[in-house]
Amino acid sequence: MHPQLAPQLIDAQTLARLTGLADLDPSLIVDDFTTSEAAAALADAEVLVTSWGCPPINEAVLAAAPRLRAVIHAAGSVKHHVTDACWERGLQVTSAAWANALPVAEYTVGAILFANKQVLRLAAEYRELRARHDWQAAHPRIGNYRRTVGIVGASQIGRRVLELLRPFDLHLLLHDPYIEAAEAALLGARPVELDELCVLSDVVSIHAPQLPSTRHMIDRRRLALMPDGATVVNTSRGSLIDQDALVPELVSGRLSAVLDVTSPEVLPEDSPLYDLPNVLLTPHVAGSMGTELHRMAAAAADELARYTAGLPFSHPVLVQEIHRTA
Residue 233 near residue 205, CB atoms below 8 Å: yes
CB 132 within 8 A of CB 138: no
Q: Are 107 and 260 in contact, with CB atoms under 8 Å apart?
A: yes
Show Cβ contacts of residue 279 under 8 Å, excluding neighbours closer than 6 positions.
120, 250, 256, 257, 258, 259, 273
Measured CA distances, 12 to 186, 216, 268, 325 (Å)? 39, 43, 39, 32
Cβ contacts of residue 256 below 8 Å, gap of 6+?
Answer: 115, 120, 121, 229, 230, 231, 232, 250, 278, 279
Q: How far does the chain reach from its first CA to its final CA, in angstroms?
A: 19
Cα–Cα dist 252/67, whole Å: 60
Q: Which of 32, 23, 26 is nearest to 1 (CA)?
A: 32
Q: Contact 38/32 with Cβ under 8 angstroms?
A: yes
- For 265-303, letters b (16+ CB in 10 Å) and e give eebeeebebeebebbbbeeeebbbeeeebbbbbbbbbbb
Is residue 216 within 8 A of residue 242, CB to CB? The reply is yes
> How buried is 167 (Cβ within 10 angstroms: 0-12 exposed, 13-18 middle, 19+ buried)?
exposed
Q: Which residues are catalytic?
A: 237, 265, 284
- The Cα 261–Cα 243 span in angstroms is 11
Coil, helix or strand at residue 123:
helix
